[in-house]
Amino acid sequence: MKKFRPLFFILIVLGILWMLHARLLGMAAEPFLEKVMTRVFDMPVHIEGMRISPFLSRVSVKKLEILNPPGFKRRDHFTCKEIEIELDLRVLKNKFIRIRKAHFKEVVFAIESYMTSEGPRTNVKHWYHNMGLDVEGPPIPPRAMPNPDNIGEDSWRVRIDRLELEKGSLIFDDRRDLQEQRWIFEHIRGYWTGFDFLSDYVSPIFTETIQVEATFGENPPARFKGGGKCQFADGDNFDVDVQISDGSVAEYDFLLSSILGEVQSGTYDLKSHLLCAEGNLQSEHLLTLKDMTFAAPTAAQKLLKYPFDGIRILLENQKTVELNIKVDGYIEDPKFRVFSAFTKALQKALISKTKAGIVGTVKIAASTPGQVTQGLSKLGAILTGPFTTKDKTSSEPNGEKKNA
């Protein structure tokens, strides 16, 4: 019986090592991956609780942190408290990193922008530039689709069959202007499928799919839903529909700055279609403003803001006001800002809607004495005059923006 005792102890030790091997491999890999990722992102990276199970082709991480470089207010750029990854190790020999499924839980992705003497600086652009992803290379000639297992290819390939997100948050702090702005998406859940990157191949069609649900804002949070086709493996390419329901107008400056009044309450719905190919954005939006109320103006405010009363009257007297807005531009241009462009287009649409309402009132009053008709026409000129100065854009009756 004694001769079996060594074998018994060996089996126990092997069993313990089997149970601990995933964590031991993870502990060995953590410092190496931290060093590599820190060099790739040019940002400090911390990994905790990594487990690697080669026999199950699985990797898990308890916590991942990517910290901002000096100059940014926020400490962290990206954090995730739970990551589960399923790999396809059989194709690794073909220079192919294939992720069957990746599940991210409790993610915070914080984008921050601010101005420097050399221009705007954004944390996303920081690592994007460090990876060389913003370098314009020669056009890639068309070629046949690569082998599904990357057999015979000279370049490394990365594919993510499905990426799932649960309990995510996206925070965007824009400090490029004197008045800082913040936009918050919370309770994000959704998926992204079909990401397939190969350095010498560009897909002629959109092969990726994305679907996301979230809340937008805080007081109260609006419902956000969006999705469609995309091709992020080859650049800024997407064709998506987005919808925001029951958002608070008073919470966001890009809406308030267009209304030109002291908003007390009001909600909005937004339906958008965005098409972007190689950074060239074309977007159409239907904005519905609902149940708008304004603070009573003081005597001084009446004097100063009198020209803007036409818009205030329009929004207060109608339960809902629908505005068609069009925003186009090149999103890689640092001078192009989507929210600023949206604000300008919204102002044009409001002015157009207000002028149309005044014209309608004048037509109704056509049968009244001439003095009344002339008075209404004069009122319309006073209310809309300050907005009719010439600039680089003009607004169609439906509020769309066109380049002059």
Higher-pLDDT residue of 21, 150: 150
Is there a single domain that holds both residue 197 and residue 305? Answer: no
Structural domain contains residue 223: no
Q: How far apart are CA 401 and CA 136, in angstroms?
A: 30
Does residue 2 surpass a pLDDT of 80?
Answer: no
Place 37 in a pLDDT band, splitting at 50, 70 and 90.
Answer: very high
Same domain, 193 and 245: no
Give the count of domains, the chain: 2
Q: Are residue 46 and residue 184 in the same domain, yes or no?
A: yes
Q: Going by C-beta distance under 8 Å and a sequence separation of 6 or more, which residues neighbour residue 193?
A: 160, 161, 162, 163, 208, 209, 210
- The yes-or-no verdict on residue 124 having pLDDT over 50 is yes
- Paired with 216 in beta bridges are 185, 222
Task: Write the CA distances from 9 to 23, 119, 131, 315, 346, integer angstroms.
Answer: 22, 66, 50, 81, 76
In single-letter form, the type of residue at position 90 comes to R
Residue 2 falls within a domain, yes or no?
no
Q: Tell me how far apart the alpha carbons of residues 170 and 216 are, in angstroms, rounded to a whole number.
A: 10
Q: Which residues pair with 328 in a beta bridge?
A: 282
Residue 215 lies in a domain: no
Same structural domain, 106 and 194: yes
- pLDDT score recorded for residue 311: 65
Cross-strand bridge partners of residue 61: 83
Say whether both 181 and 70 belong to one domain: yes
Residue 212 in any domain: the answer is no
Indicate if the pLDDT at residue 396 is higher than 50. no
Whether 189 and 277 share a structural domain: no
- The per-residue pLDDT for 346 is 75
Mean pLDDT of the chain: 79
Per the listing, tokens 């100065």 go with: 389
Confirm whether 197 is domain-assigned: yes
Asked if residue 170 and residue 59 are part of one domain, the reply reads yes
User: Are residues 284 and 192 part of one domain?
Assistant: no
209 within domain boundaries: no
Q: Are residues 171 and 305 in the same domain?
A: no
In a domain, 6, yes or no: no
Q: Is residue 49 part of a domain?
A: yes
Instruction: Spell out the SS3 assignment of the chain.
Output: CHHHHHHHHHHHHHHHHHHHHHHHHHHHHHHHHHHHHHHHHCCCEEEECCEEECCCCEEEECEEEEECCCCCCCCEEEEEEEEEEEECHHHHHHCEEEEEEEEEEEEEEEEEEEEECCEEEEHHHHHHHHCCCCCCCCCCCCCCCCCCCCCCCCCCEEEEEEEEEEEEEEEEEEECCCCCEEEEEEEEEEEEEEEEEECCCCCCCCCEEEEEEEEECCCCCEEEEEEEEECHHHCCCEEEEEEEEEEEHHHCHHHHHHHCCCEEEEEEEEEEEEEEECCEEEEEEEEEEEEEEECCCCHHHHHHHHHHHHHHHHHHHCCEEEEEEEEEEECCCCCCCHHHHHHHHHHHHHHHHHHHHHHHHHHHHHHCCHHHHHHHHHHHHHHHHHHCCCCCEEECCCCCEEEC
Tokens of 266: 């009001």
Phi, psi of 59 (to 5 degrees): -135, 135
Cβ(353)–Cβ(324) below 8 Å:
no
Is the per-residue pLDDT at 128 higher than 70? Answer: yes
Task: State the average pLDDT over residues 269-292.
Answer: 90
Residue 79 and residue 152 share a domain: yes
Residue of higher predicted confidence among 308 and 61: 61
Q: Give the pLDDT score at 178.
A: 80
Same domain, 55 and 195: yes
Q: What's the CA angle centered on 43, arms 42 and 45, to 5 degrees?
A: 125
Q: From the CB of residue 376, how many other CB atoms can be counted at a distance below 10 Å?
A: 19
**CA 176 distance to own-chain centroid:** 17
Range of the domain at 361: 240-404
On the question of pLDDT at 342 being above 80, the answer is no
> pLDDT > 70: what percent of the chain?
73
At 47 the pLDDT is 97
Q: 184 and 299 share a domain? A: no
Neighbours of 207 (CB within 10 A): 16
87, two tokens: 């790999």
